[in-house]
Amino acid sequence: MNMLVCVSRTPETTAPVKFSADMSEYDGSGVNFIMNPYDEWYALVRALEVKESQGGKVTLFHVGGAESDAVIRKGLAIGADDAVRVDAAPSSSMFVAKQIAEYCKANAIDILFFGKETIDFNGAEVGAMAAEMLDMPYISFAIDMQLDGNNATITREIEGGKEVGEVQTPFALSAAKGLAEQRIANMRGIMMSKRKPINVIPAADAADKATVVKYAYPDAGGDVVYIEPDNMDELVRRLAEEAKVL
């Protein structure tokens, strides 16, 4: 099984969210960046489990500058065999998807793994776009995947329940909580990661179809107003007149 695990670099969950003065760009200064947890905990680990049970190769794929090498190194320490880094800023979902698609066209991939979303923009776009470009089946929000030869039975999370489907390799999936259990890199893995290659390649041409114009902070939360349970009229009045939701 040739597996490609697409990983992104995201700010740590506790990092304060800041923007440039004109609100046009995210300001990552002083922020600790990590591997997107859905990519690390579920997608990568499930790929490693497949490799351990039936052989194969796990390659990490990342679009980003050299500052991402620490994140990639972590994936290698957890157990990926090697990594490919497209040396370009991940300017949009479309741009990143295009890089993945171009790589997969040139390299036969049996399973293309994504996390269900990144924890910064929460777009959940890249996987679907890349699979579409490759004309590959795409199963999103996978919480279980069982492989039997080239046939996979995948359970995905849907509103109010689960959906079970079957698909044959090659296919792409996005990993949700439950697909695997987080693994922590051990010292041996960290040492071995130093000997594993990160192949840096130039970006394929891809025009951004969307650009960010401006960011805005959400409105600060208002004060909490307590209304006595026996004063329902007041609650209704406020919902109608002040919140204007009735």
Partner 1 sequence: MTNHQDHNTEIVKSTKTDRFQGHDYYNVDDLLTTEHLLVRDSVREWVKQEVSPIIEQYAERAMYPRHLVKGLAEIGAFGPSLPEKYGCGGLDEISYGLIMQELERGDSGIRSAASVQGSLVMYPIYKYGTEEMRMKYLPKLASGEFIGCFGLTEPDHGSNPGGMITNIVDDGDCYILNGAKMWITNSPIADVAVVWAKDEEGKVRGMVVEAGTPGFSAPEIHGKWSLRASITGELVFEDVRVPKENVFPDIKGLRGPLSCLSKARYGIAWGVIGAAMDCYDSALRYSLEREQFGKPIAGFQLTQKKLAEMITEITKAQLLAWRLGTLANEGKATPAQISMAKRNNVHMALEIAREARQIHGGMGITQEYSIMRHMMNLETVLTYEGTHDIHLLITGHDVTGLQAFK
Task: Choose the binding region for partner 1 from 50-58, 167-175, 182-190, 208-216 (rule: CB under 8 A).
Answer: 182-190
Please tell me whether residue 156 binds partner 1 under the rule CB under 8 A.
no
Of the candidates 132, 93, 116, the one whose C-alpha atom is nearest the C-alpha of residue 46 is 116
**180 vs 169: CA distance, rounded Å:** 19
The amino acid at 190: I
Tell me the closest approach of the beta carbon of residue 149 to partner 1, in angstroms: 32
The amino acid at 63: V
Please tell me whether residue 186 binds partner 1 under the rule CB under 8 A.
yes
Residue 14 or 211 with smaller CB distance to partner 1: 14
**136 vs 129: CA distance, rounded Å:** 10
SS3 203: coil
Task: Choose the binding region for partner 1 from 87-95, 114-122, 135-143, 178-186 (rule: CB under 8 A).
Answer: 178-186
- DSSP E strands: which ranges in the chain? 2-6, 9-11, 33-35, 57-63, 82-86, 111-115, 138-148, 151-158, 161-168, 171-175, 198-201
Tell me the closest approach of the beta carbon of residue 153 to partner 1, in angstroms: 30
Please tell me whether residue 224 binds partner 1 under the rule CB under 8 A.
no
Residue 40 or 110 with smaller CB distance to partner 1: 40
Tell me the closest approach of the beta carbon of residue 190 to partner 1, in angstroms: 5
**155 vs 158: CA distance, rounded Å:** 9
Of 4, 77, 86, 173, the residue at the interface with partner 1 (CB under 8 A) is 77
Task: Choose the binding region for partner 1 from 84-92, 185-193, 223-231, 238-246 (rule: CB under 8 A).
Answer: 185-193
Task: Choose the binding region for partner 1 from 116-124, 160-168, 187-195, 227-235 (rule: CB under 8 A).
Answer: 187-195
